[in-house]
């Protein structure tokens, strides 16, 4: 805690490692640490950045991060990859990501904790944000892959969210049309350079036509949609400026606390089932019962529906008996 | 039940609608129906087909379905779209899908039930498969979008699974490399025609190089990987033949029952948390507690972590008191 207050990098890494731990014996120290974290007078910006694999997230984040550093801001990047659960290994596993950023003493790049469950990732992210804020980072970028349900849950933890869009990505535009438009704050078309520049221009026009005019919080529709090239830097200055402008407006308006409260409650509504599941999964008696029922299904032809009923009865009977 | 045994289409539709119902008052009739379903001597093929949006699933399934019909087989198609939860409306909403198939008396096309939760979709799928089998369908195609965790869970309900791959899709090949290779049985590159034919050929070669040689269940690596065009029909005959060959081998080997038992248990391991969540969500006292805690978080600054603890204590205390 002292180390974090004094911006000691080794203490920060130790604290984040503690937060990533799923060992029961670490949980009381973890909770103590979280209770003791000092509140900063000036809140940090929690910036969510998401997009499909291959859209150019790392490259854009590196360039954006360097621009923030140039403005004298301290930047932390937390990368979340829930799909690493499915694919048994992170897609983001490349260690050479964001090289320039990760070498800068005012920046901190932390990849997703491996082996964390979805609910765990959300919980971890919230706690890691709090630690990074206490350490003194002013911009905390939360990077996630895709626009699935779990990624959206993680984004309830942010103040401002960016959706990166591949030039010519019809499916993503479809998804935006279907409801993501209300969820992300800024839409950023990547790779507006070289061969993909015409496609980027086309996607830009399509996005403009999707956006209903007269959004309450910004009269200028174009300030929602950015066409950028991390390579040439085109559009990156405007994007950086818009993020900082929005952040200053939000921080100045005193709405920030109620916005964060509202988003925390959304996060709670979405994530409690995962938290409950993780708690049950770490209970040895429940583990044994799950294995027993699984065996009945695979070997004795028990229907999965009957298996669910058996397990749920067991869980509730157990909670009754144990207290 | 009588209607289903006599292949009465109206009875089939009524049974599927009953299964889709989430109303508590329907659940006892539903369970009764499921218990009474007759077992067919000749089991049907449960064929899973998945792929990213835009890969050409509907088109391929329509053509494949027509080929099965031509061989005298009765075909049912159950379309599952878990993402419809997120996007508030199904991506598959186009009613003109699979026109030719849906008009054929020996085929049955059923889109995803709207508003079903993920766990509900899995449960619904299993029950819908059982009804379709009792009715007399010999090939039951389960169509899902994407290769996320929930889609993989649904695929535990199938005997054979196809992953459709967009020509030139680098990300999908990456995912395959990361572990899906062990999960899908057949890999089908779509759109091997016109302008996308060279890309399809390239993806075909890339897939060949990913596949480790000497897979135990098929010495001929090429029988795993198909390059198809739904438009020209190229590769479709080989694919149809391979599916039927594999199905006959599986059905003849008497391994089918143990395979299904094993997959049912995998399905149980993955899906019990969703079933538990759905059960709790339909409990009014739990609903009220969730709303109360949500309000404490948004208005009184309660930390989400503390909210989770409050809710979990309430759930277990309640189950104790109620029995």
Look at A286 and B320; give whichever has higher pLDDT: A286
Residues of B in contact with A170 (CB under 8 A): 54
Rounded CA separation A135/A13 (Å) = 11
Distant-in-sequence, close-in-space partners of A78: CB < 8 Å, separation ≥ 6: A110, A125, A128, A129, A132, A140, A141, A142, A143
- Asked if B118 and B274 count as a contact pair (C-beta separation under 8 A), the reply is yes
Look at residue A91 in the predicted model and tell me its pLDDT: 39
Contact at CB, A293 and B268, closer than 8 angstroms: yes
B250 in contact with A, Cβ within 8 Å: no
Q: How far is B71 from chain A (nearest CA, A)?
A: 32
Look at residue A316 in the predicted model and tell me its pLDDT: 86
Query: Which candidate from A123, A126, A316 shows the least CB-CB separation from B319?
Result: A316
Look at residue B163 in the predicted model and tell me its pLDDT: 87
Query: Which candidate from B275, B307, B320 shows the least CB-CB separation from A319?
Result: B320
Tokens representing residue B156 in the block:
């535990």
Residues of A in contact with B83 (CB under 8 A): 148
B245 in contact with A, Cβ within 8 Å: no
What is the tens place of the pLDDT at every residue in B90-140? Answer: 334 444 568 888 889 899 998 766 544 444 566 778 889 999 999 999 999
Report, as an integer, the average pLDDT of B27-37.
Answer: 83
B37 in contact with A, Cβ within 8 Å: no
Report, as an integer, the average pLDDT of B208-226.
Answer: 61
Contact at CB, B268 and A297, closer than 8 angstroms: yes
B286 in contact with A, Cβ within 8 Å: no
Taking all residues of chain B, what is their mean pLDDT, rounded to a whole number? 81
Q: How confident is the model at residue B207 (pLDDT cuts 50, 70, 90)?
A: confident
Rounded CA separation A175/A181 (Å) = 8
What is the tens place of the pLDDT at every residue in B47-70? Answer: 999 887 778 888 999 999 999 999
Look at residue A106 in the predicted model and tell me its pLDDT: 93
Chain A, nearest residue to B123 by Cα: A305
A-B interface: how many C-beta pairs under 8 angstroms? 165
Query: Three-class SS of residue B5?
Result: helix
Fold observed for domain A40-253: Rossmann fold (3.40.50)
Rounded CA separation A50/A155 (Å) = 9
Whose CA is closest to B60, among B170, B184, B143? B143
Chain A stretch 163-202, residues whose beta carbon is closer than 8 A to a beta carbon of chain B:
170-171, 174-175, 178-180
Most B CBs within 10 Å, among A122, A298, A310, A321, to test the B interface: A298
The lowest-confidence range among A265-274, B32-41, B229-238 is B32-41
The low-confidence residues of chain A, meaning pLDDT below 70, are 22, 81-97, 112-122, 146-154, 170-183, 211-222, 319-323
Whose CA is closest to B303, among A169, A37, A26? A37
Contact at CB, A299 and B147, closer than 8 angstroms: no
What is the tens place of the pLDDT at every residue in A169-223? Answer: 766 666 666 555 566 889 899 999 999 999 898 888 888 777 665 343 445 555 7
Which residue(s) pair with B86 in the sheet?
none
Report, as an integer, the average pLDDT of B6-13.
Answer: 88
Contact at CB, A272 and B311, closer than 8 angstroms: yes
Phi, psi of A165, deg, nearest 5? -125, 130
Look at B165 and A320; give whichever has higher pLDDT: B165
Look at residue B172 in the predicted model and tell me its pLDDT: 60
A265 in contact with B, Cβ within 8 Å: yes
Look at residue A179 in the predicted model and tell me its pLDDT: 57
Chain B, nearest residue to A156 by Cα: B304
B10 in contact with A, Cβ within 8 Å: no
Whose CA is closest to B101, among B42, B161, B133, B60? B60
A252 in contact with B, Cβ within 8 Å: no
Look at residue A216 in the predicted model and tell me its pLDDT: 38
Helix axes B197-210, B170-177, angle to 10 degrees: 10
Query: Which candidate from B91, B174, B312 shows the least CB-CB separation from A174?
Result: B91
Q: How confident is the model at residue B89 (pLDDT cuts 50, 70, 90)?
A: very low
Look at residue B84 in the predicted model and tell me its pLDDT: 45
Report, as an integer, the average pLDDT of B34-42.
Answer: 80
Query: Which candidate from B126, B290, B297 shows the least CB-CB separation from A304?
Result: B126
Most B CBs within 10 Å, among A210, A308, A321, to test the B interface: A308
Query: Which candidate from A91, A268, A290 shows the least CB-CB separation from B293?
Result: A268
Chain A, nearest residue to B295 by Cα: A265
Most A CBs within 10 Å, among B131, B287, B316, B318, to test the A interface: B316
Look at residue A95 in the predicted model and tell me its pLDDT: 41
Residues of B in contact with A144 (CB under 8 A): none
Q: How far is B191 from chain A (nearest CA, A)?
A: 17
What is the tens place of the pLDDT at every residue in B175-193? Answer: 666 555 566 889 899 999 9
Tokens representing residue B137 in the block:
């369908």
Whose CA is closest to B229, among B241, B237, B220? B237
Give the global pTM.
Answer: 0.69
Domain ranges of chain A: 40-253, 283-322
């Amino acid at each position: 805690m002292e180390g974090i207050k004094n911006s000691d990098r080794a203490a920060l890494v130790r604290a984040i490692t503690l937060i990533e731990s799923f060992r029961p014996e670490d949980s009381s120290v973890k909770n103590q640490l979280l209770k003791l974290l000092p509140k900063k007078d000036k809140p940090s910006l929690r910036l969510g950045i998401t997009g499909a694999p291959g859209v150019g997230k790392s490259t854009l984040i590196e360039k954006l991060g360097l621009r923030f550093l140039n403005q004298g801001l301290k930047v932390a990047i937390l990368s979340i990859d829930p799909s690493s659960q499915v694919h048994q290994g992170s897609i983001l596993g490349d260690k050479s990501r964001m090289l320039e950023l990760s070498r800068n003493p005012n920046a901190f790049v932390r990849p997703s904790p491996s082996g964390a469950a979805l609910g765990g990732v959300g919980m971890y992210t919230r706690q890691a944000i709090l630690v990074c804020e206490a350490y003194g980072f002013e911009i905390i970028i939360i990077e996630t892959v895709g626009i699935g349900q779990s990624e959206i849950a993680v984004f309830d933890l942010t103040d401002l969210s960016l959706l990166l869009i591949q030039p010519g990505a019809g499916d993503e535009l479809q998804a935006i049309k279907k409801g993501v438009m209300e969820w992300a704050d800024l839409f950023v078309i990547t790779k507006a350079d070289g061969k993909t520049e015409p496609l980027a221009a086309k996607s830009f026009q399509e996005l403009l036509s999707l956006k209903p005019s007269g959004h309450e919080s910004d009269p200028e529709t174009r300030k929602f949609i950015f066409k950028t090239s991390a390579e040439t830097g085109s559009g990156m200055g405007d994007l950086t400026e818009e993020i900082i402008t929005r952040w200053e407006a939000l921080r100045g308006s005193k709405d920030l606390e109620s916005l964060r409260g509202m988003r925390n409650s959304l996060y709670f509504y979405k994530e409690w089932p995962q938290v409950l599941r993780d708690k049950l999964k770490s209970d040895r008696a429940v583990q044994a019962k799950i294995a027993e029922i699984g065996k009945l299904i695979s070997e004795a032809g028990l229907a999965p529906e009957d298996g669910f009923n058996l397990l749920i009865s067991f869980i509730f009977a157990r909670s009754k008996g144990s207290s």
